[in-house]
């Protein structure tokens, strides 16, 4: 699935987060999927509620992630 995304994708544990990512995670909670935009800011793509609703389904995760990325790109 990650290979199909066509964008860089990095998974990090809470103890591996850069400071700016850690600050965002502290404000939105974890688990969370963030995107670093072209201007360097961080955007929340999927929060805990969205991830919990997927119940571990990779196909649901991919669909939701693609929809969130499309929405971010159209802003």
Whole-number Å distance between alpha carbons of 17 and 66: 23
pLDDT above 70 covers a percentage of the chain that reads: 100
Determine the 3-state secondary structure of 8 from DSSP: coil
**What is the domain partition of the chain in residue ranges?**
2-6+17-73
Whole-number Å distance between alpha carbons of 66 and 62: 6
pLDDT band at 6; cut points 50, 70, 90: confident
Summarised one tens digit per residue, pLDDT across range 30-49 is 999 999 999 999 999 999 99
pLDDT at residue 7, rounded to an integer: 87
DSSP alpha helices (H): ranges in the chain? 2-5, 19-28, 48-53, 58-73
State yes or no: pLDDT of 5 exceeds 90. no
Q: What is the DSSP letter of 45?
A: E
What's the whole-model pTM score? 0.90
Whole-number Å distance between alpha carbons of 60 and 71: 16
């Amino acid at each position: 699935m990650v290979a199909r995304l066509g964008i860089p994708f990095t998974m990090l544990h809470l103890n591996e987060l850069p400071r700016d990512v850690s600050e965002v995670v502290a404000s939105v909670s974890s688990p969370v999927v963030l995107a670093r935009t072209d201007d360097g800011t961080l955007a929340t793509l999927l929060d805990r509620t969205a991830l919990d609703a997927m119940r571990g389904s990779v196909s649901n995760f991919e669909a939701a992630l693609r929809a969130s990325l499309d929405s971010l790109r159209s802003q």
